[in-house]
């Protein structure tokens, strides 16, 4: 007992000394910023709020800025999407040595899923359900980016999305807010570490606040029409989780909420983010979003737009230069409070990053040589990519393949290097990555297997449409006719024992401004696959996609399908690892795959309707379509393994629970197959009667376990009332929904995916 008290005391002392250290650091920071701001002119203060683009990577209209001169005049607070420590060092030198106050610049970048070592696209990463792996990917991204001059990343993107038409679904963690929240925390911890003092960590920027994933009809840059109840229960939680995890900055979204663009939305940026959630970092706009208030027609001039955003709580203006261009000293003085607050927040970020101690701390070229694309990082990226790919189908255990006989590799994605990293890999160096063909060749070296290759088709018949999906150096058009290419592929396939078809989307068919209404296999590839299937040989489809796609025909006719997404720089080796059984697939879908694009918006978190339809099929006067099932083709949480897992019936330690109590839900999982494999055990709930309409099923826990053949493990989920809560509808229209726990019956479910669960009833008293 004494020992316990001593250790509690010890812990309390450590906590107290940590918090007093933080307090004294904050006090030092405040003193420093006070002194600095006392010496700043209004123009210099406005300069800190200014974030022009200076690199080659632009996501809007490029702007020519007189960067050097503007820096000297103190008109720039940060720059983004520049690459290279030496280059960045020189720009920093101008700021520090040639501007009046020598305030260092913040260098940001879209480091979305890795730097030169590229990890799977975020949607794929989430399919690992492995928070340690996700955190590690962000940690490695930070180690590399910071060795190249970058100290601030525009990531994580935590927008929940229920619409596969939206191309940016590739950048988030899928459709579930609970899983999305865990991923958001892991990413923030990975980027920022325990302390931004460490020069191998960088500041995170949570985006796009808020609700960007709910753009109407999945069309990019569209508006969002959603009520607070659904906003809070379905979309807001990951932003809050990232803020609670300590994210240093937040990016406002392009879209509207409550009819007001997020960038100029005071309720969002101040009332909710700062006052209710306690966020104390800084808020940056998205690319030209400040001036886009004029496009939205809520402001008539740039001055009005900039002012509305400033008053709403925006601190930094990306690209529009709104305040700097429109404010003279008199106007600035009239808005002194807001300008001072914003300038302070930007300076605090620089202070926390250690830029005032050493403005060149992220420009250490020796560190670059040690960490960039180093073998350790590549090995981690390969391992993690292997965890993200989802085995959708494996009839007659075609996979894993034996390294013998003749293998035909066919498809437009089989021999393309730049497409493998996936969208938004700004710092990628594709020349140093392998194609699928090279990955398979390496895996088969020294064996008797023979690998044949034919491209087989272009991505699609229409060259113009293909060009849209292969922008930014990913072009792959073959000048041969479709007939010539198909004939060659069939010749090659004839000689083979097994066909590997590498097909699907090119990397830029998803990502920003890549909304699509046709999400089926592109025409030329579909036709080729039909011809290959006619040969009657075993086919493995290695499918590339940056979004959920419709795979009806493929599911019916192709015996094995691996959803490879885009696996990053090590895609090729990771695919080979899975195909030849070095790695047992363990990814599980974090978006369900639809049967038809018309099902969108679509999520397993279907709110319980009246005239509910449990069969999912047509039935007059209940909720359904006349021509397609309600269910997905592949459900949320789904994925196969080379081994099989058996679930025992689930148990609850008690069927009742007081409000302040706790029960345990358990299940024993046994590996009944022949391979060691990982399984993701999932906990879902459904509140039987609540004040607000609740989803039929919602994820509230998961555990990824690895079992050897024959091995069993009991997986336990601790359940308390808080875990079962939700944002109840508010009776007062001025109040946001509040996290609420209601007594009554709750279905507790455990299973291998959202469609296959076992259920016990729990009564909260
Ligand atoms: C995107 C952001 C990105 C920014 C800067 C915008 O178009 O929406 O996600 O961070 O560009 O590149």
DSSP conformation letters of 265-304: -HIIIIIIIIIIT---SEEE--TTTTTHHHHTTS-SSHHH
CA-CA-CA-CA dihedral for 441, 442, 444, 445, to nearest 10:
110
Q: Given ligand 1 and candidates 55, 251, 287, which is best to mutate, with the most ligand atoms within 8 Å of its CB?
A: 287
Closest CA to 547 of 293, 63, 109, 168: 168
Strands 560-563 and 317-318 come out as: unpaired
pTM: 0.96
Q: In whole angstroms, what is the distance from residue 544 CA to residue 600 CA?
A: 21
Count CB neighbours of 511 within 10 A. Answer: 26
Residue 512 Cβ contacting ligand 1 at under 6 Å: yes
Count CB neighbours of 359 within 10 A. Answer: 21
What pLDDT is attached to residue 64?
53
What letter would DSSP give residue 123? H
Q: Which residue has the tokens 């899923």?
A: 113
Q: Given ligand 1 and candidates 286, 289, 426, which is best to mutate, with the most ligand atoms within 8 Å of its CB?
A: 286
CA-CA-CA-CA dihedral for 579, 584, 588, 594, to nearest 10:
30
Q: In whole angstroms, what is the distance from residue 174 CA to residue 161 CA?
A: 6
Q: In whole angstroms, what is the distance from residue 49 CA to residue 60 CA?
A: 19
Task: Return all residues near 682 (Cβ < 8 A) that are at least 6 apart.
Answer: 637, 699, 701, 702, 750, 751, 752, 753, 754, 757
Q: What is the maximal distance between C-alpha atoms in the chain?
A: 83
Count CB neighbours of 706 within 10 A. Answer: 13
What pLDDT is attached to residue 17?
57
Residue 110 Cβ contacting ligand 1 at under 6 Å: yes
Omega cis (within 30) before 2: no
Take residue 537 and report the two structure tokens written for it: 């040989």
What pLDDT is attached to residue 15?
47
Q: What are phi and psi of 514, to 5 degrees?
A: -130, 40
Q: What are phi and psi of 649, to 5 degrees?
A: -60, 145
Take residue 434 and report the two structure tokens written for it: 């392998």
Q: 454-484 in b/e burial notation, b at 16+ Cβ within 10 A?
A: bbbbbbbeeeeebeebbbeebebeeeeebee
Residue 154 Cβ contacting ligand 1 at under 6 Å: yes
Name the region of 486 (left: φ>0; alpha: ψ -120 to 50; beta: rest): alpha
Ligand 1 atom closest to the Cα of residue 60 is: 7
Q: In whole angstroms, what is the distance from residue 193 CA to residue 265 CA?
A: 31
Q: Are 387 and 130 in contact (CB under 8 A)?
A: yes
Take residue 148 and report the two structure tokens written for it: 């190249």
Q: In whole angstroms, what is the distance from residue 752 CA to residue 737 CA?
A: 32
What pLDDT is attached to residue 326?
95
Q: Are 160 and 234 in contact (CB under 8 A)?
A: yes
Q: In whole angstroms, what is the distance from residue 748 CA to residue 759 CA?
A: 6
Ligand 1 atom closest to the Cα of residue 171 is: 9
- Across 471-629, the runs of DSSP E, i.e. the strands, are 498-504, 539-544, 560-563
What pLDDT is attached to residue 732?
76
Q: 26-55 in b/e burial notation, b at 16+ Cβ within 10 A?
A: eeebeeebeebeeebebebbbbbbbbbbbb
Tally of helices (H runs) and strands (E runs) in the chain = 23, 27
Q: Are 311 and 340 in contact (CB under 8 A)?
A: no
Q: In whole angstroms, what is the distance from residue 87 CA to residue 158 CA?
A: 31
Q: Whose CA is nearest to atom 10 of ligand 1?
A: 154
Take residue 467 and report the two structure tokens written for it: 């060009």
What pLDDT is attached to residue 59?
61
- Integer angstrom CA distances of residue 94 from 101, 321, 325, 349, 745: 11, 20, 22, 20, 65
Residue 55 Cβ contacting ligand 1 at under 6 Å: no
Q: Whose CA is nearest to atom 2 of ligand 1?
A: 286
Q: In whole angstroms, what is the distance from residue 711 CA to residue 312 CA?
A: 56
**Exactly one of 70, 110, 148, 286 is catalytic; which is it?**
286
Q: In whole angstroms, what is the distance from residue 574 CA to residue 578 CA?
A: 6
Gyration radius of the chain's alpha carbons: 27
What letter would DSSP give residue 670? E
Q: Are 434 and 572 in contact (CB under 8 A)?
A: yes
What letter would DSSP give residue 170? G
What pLDDT is attached to residue 22?
75
- Residues in the chain with pLDDT < 50? 1-15
Q: Which helix (H) or strand (E) holds 640?
A: none
Find how far residue 586's CA is from the centre of its chain. Answer: 19
**How far apart are the CA of 227 and the centre of ligand 1, in A?**
26
Q: How many residues does the structure list for the chain?
A: 765
For the sheet with 560-563, list strands across it. Answer: 390-394, 560-563, 539-544, 498-504, 406-410, 450-454
Q: Which residue has the tokens 């290419």?
A: 485
Ligand 1 atom closest to the Cα of residue 205 is: 10
Is 286 one of the annotated active-site residues of the chain?
yes
Count CB neighbours of 21 within 10 A. Answer: 10
Name the region of 685 (left: φ>0; alpha: ψ -120 to 50; beta: rest): beta
Q: In whole angstroms, what is the distance from residue 36 CA to residue 56 CA?
A: 33
**How far apart are the CA of 289 and the centre of ligand 1, in A?**
10
Q: How many CA atoms lie within 13 A of 173 on its CB side?
A: 29
What pLDDT is attached to residue 63?
61
Q: In whole angstroms, what is the distance from residue 20 CA to residue 381 CA?
A: 39
Strands 249-252 and 498-504 come out as: unpaired
Residue 424 Cβ contacting ligand 1 at under 6 Å: no
Residue 212 Cβ contacting ligand 1 at under 6 Å: no
Closest CA to 140 of 485, 311, 372, 343: 372
User: Sign of torsion, CA 512 514 516 521?
Assistant: negative
Residue 286 Cβ contacting ligand 1 at under 6 Å: yes
Q: Whose CA is nearest to atom 7 of ligand 1?
A: 59
Residue 292 Cβ contacting ligand 1 at under 6 Å: no
Take residue 760 and report the two structure tokens written for it: 């016990």
Residue 59 Cβ contacting ligand 1 at under 6 Å: yes
Q: Which helix (H) or strand (E) holds 759?
A: strand 756-764
């Amino acid at each position: 007992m004494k020992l316990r008290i001593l250790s509690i005391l010890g812990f309390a002392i450590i906590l107290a000394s940590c918090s007093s250290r933080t307090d004294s650091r904050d006090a030092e920071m405040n003193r420093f910023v006070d002194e600095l701001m006392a010496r700043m002119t209004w123009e210099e203060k406005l300069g800190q709020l200014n974030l022009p683009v200076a690199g080659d990577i632009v996501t809007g209209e490029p702007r020519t800025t007189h960067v050097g001169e503007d820096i000297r005049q103190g008109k720039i607070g940060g720059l983004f999407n520049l690459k290279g420590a030496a280059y960045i060092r020189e720009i920093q030198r101008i700021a520090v040595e040639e501007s009046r106050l020598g305030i260092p610049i913040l260098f940001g970048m879209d480091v979305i899923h890795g730097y030169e070592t590229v990890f799977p696209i975020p949607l794929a990463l989430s399919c690992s359900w492995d928070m340690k792996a996700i955190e590690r990917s962000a940690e490695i991204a930070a180690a590399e980016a910071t060795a190249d001059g970058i100290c601030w990343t525009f990531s994580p993107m935590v927008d929940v999305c229920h619409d596969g038409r939206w191309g940016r679904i590739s950048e988030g963690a899928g459709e579930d807010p609970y899983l999305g929240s865990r991923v958001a925390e892991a990413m923030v911890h990975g980027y920022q570490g325990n302390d931004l003092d460490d020069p191998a960590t960088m500041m995170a920027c949570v985006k796009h606040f808020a609700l960007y994933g709910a753009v109407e009809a999945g069309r990019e840059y569209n508006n969002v029409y959603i009520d607070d109840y659904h906003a809070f229960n379905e979309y807001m939680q990951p932003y809050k989780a990232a803020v609670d995890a300590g994210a240093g900055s937040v990016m406002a979204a392009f879209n509207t909420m409550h009819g007001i663009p997020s960038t100029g939305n005071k309720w969002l940026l101040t009332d909710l983010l700062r006052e209710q959630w306690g966020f104390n970092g800084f808020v940056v706009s998205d690319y030209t979003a400040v001036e886009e208030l004029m496009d939205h027609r809520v402001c008539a001039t740039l001055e009005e737009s900039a002012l509305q955003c400033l008053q709403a709580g925006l601190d930094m203006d990306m690209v529009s230069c709104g305040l700097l261009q429109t404010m003279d000293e008199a106007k600035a003085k009239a808005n002194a409070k807001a300008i001072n607050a914003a300038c302070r927040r930007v300076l605090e970020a620089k202070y926390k990053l250690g830029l005032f101690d050493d403005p060149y701390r992220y420009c250490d070229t020796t560190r670059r040589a040690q960490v960039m694309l180093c073998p350790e990082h590549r090995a981690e990226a390969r391992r993690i990519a292997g965890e993200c790919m989802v085995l959708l189908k494996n009839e007659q255990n075609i996979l894993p393949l034996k390294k013998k006989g003749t293998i035909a590799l066919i498809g437009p994605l089989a021999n393309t290097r730049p497409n493998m990293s996936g969208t938004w890999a700004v710092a990628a160096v594709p020349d140093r990555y392998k194609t699928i063909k090279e990955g398979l060749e390496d895996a088969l070296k020294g064996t008797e297997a023979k690998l044949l290759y034919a491209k087989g088709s272009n991505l699609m018949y229409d060259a113009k449409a293909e060009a849209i999906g292969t922008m930014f150096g990913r072009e792959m058009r073959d000048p041969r006719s479709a007939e010539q290419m198909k004939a060659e592929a069939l010749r090659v396939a004839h000689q083979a024992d097994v066909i590997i078809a590498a097909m699907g989307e090119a990397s830029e068919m998803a990502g920003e401004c890549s909304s699509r209404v046709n999400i089926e296999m592109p025409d030329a590839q579909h036709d080729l696959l039909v011809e290959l299937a006619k040969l009657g040989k075993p086919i493995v489809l290695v499918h590339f996609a940056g979004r959920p796609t419709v795979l009806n025909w493929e599911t019916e006719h192709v015996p094995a399908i691996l959803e490879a997404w885009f696996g990053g720089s090590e895609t090729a080796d990771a695919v080979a690892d899975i195909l030849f059984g070095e790695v047992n697939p363990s990814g599980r879908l974090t978006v369900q795959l639809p049967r038809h694009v018309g099902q969108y918006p679509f999520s397993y978190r279907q709110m319980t309707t009246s005239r509910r339809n449990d069969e999912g099929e047509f039935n007059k006067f209940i909720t359904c379509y006349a021509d397609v099932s309600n269910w997905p083709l592949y459900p949320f949480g789904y994925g196969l393994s080379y081994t099989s897992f058996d679930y025992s019936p689930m148990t609850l330690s008690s069927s009742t629970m007081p409000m302040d109590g706790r029960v345990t839900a358990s299940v024993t999982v046994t590996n009944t197959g022949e391979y060691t494999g990982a399984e993701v055990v999932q906990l879902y709930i459904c509140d039987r009667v609540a004040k607000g309409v609740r989803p039929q099923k919602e994820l509230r826990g998961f555990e990824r376990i690895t079992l050897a053949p024959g091995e069993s493990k009991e997986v336990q989920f601790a359940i308390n009332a808080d875990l079962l809560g939700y944002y109840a509808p508010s009776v007062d229209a001025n109040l946001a929904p509040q996290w609420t726990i209601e007594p009554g019956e709750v279905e507790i479910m455990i299973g291998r995916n959202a469609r296959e669960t076992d259920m016990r009833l729990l009564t909260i008293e």
